[in-house]
């Protein structure tokens, strides 16, 4: 099971956390991964930048731009689901 968390704190919310969550949900549906990925929200992960959203995959933290969420999912989450 892949533990995928998206920060929903103030800075990440303003930077597009909702869009990242929606993209991840879409990708999980597209690849039928609801039994392999647990998607959740969390508060500050300590990588606030004001332009990116903090995301953790199995406790590894990344700062991603909302427009790169689809690519991020393909590169960092999908391989763990194989």
Which pLDDT score, from 0 to 100, does residue 1 have? 94
User: Residues 63-75: what's their mean pLDDT?
Assistant: 97
Q: Which domains does the chain have, with CATH numbers?
A: 2-65 (3.40.30.10)
46: left (phi over 0), alpha (psi -120 to 50) or beta: left
CA distance 47 to 28: 25
Quote the percentage of the chain above a pLDDT of 70: 100
Residue 45: CA count within 13 A, CB half-sphere: 23
pLDDT tens for each residue of 19-58: 999 999 999 999 999 999 999 999 999 888 888 999 999 9
């Amino acid at each position: 099971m892949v533990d995928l968390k998206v920060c929903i704190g103030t800075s990440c919310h303003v930077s597009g956390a909702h869009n990242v969550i929606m993209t991840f949900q879409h990708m999980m549906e597209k690849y039928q991964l609801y039994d392999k990925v647990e998607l959740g929200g969390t508060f500050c992960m300590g990588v606030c930048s004001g332009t990116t959203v903090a995301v953790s995959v199995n406790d590894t933290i990344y700062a991603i731009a909302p427009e790169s969420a689809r690519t991020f999912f393909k590169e960092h989450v999908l391989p763990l689901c194989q």
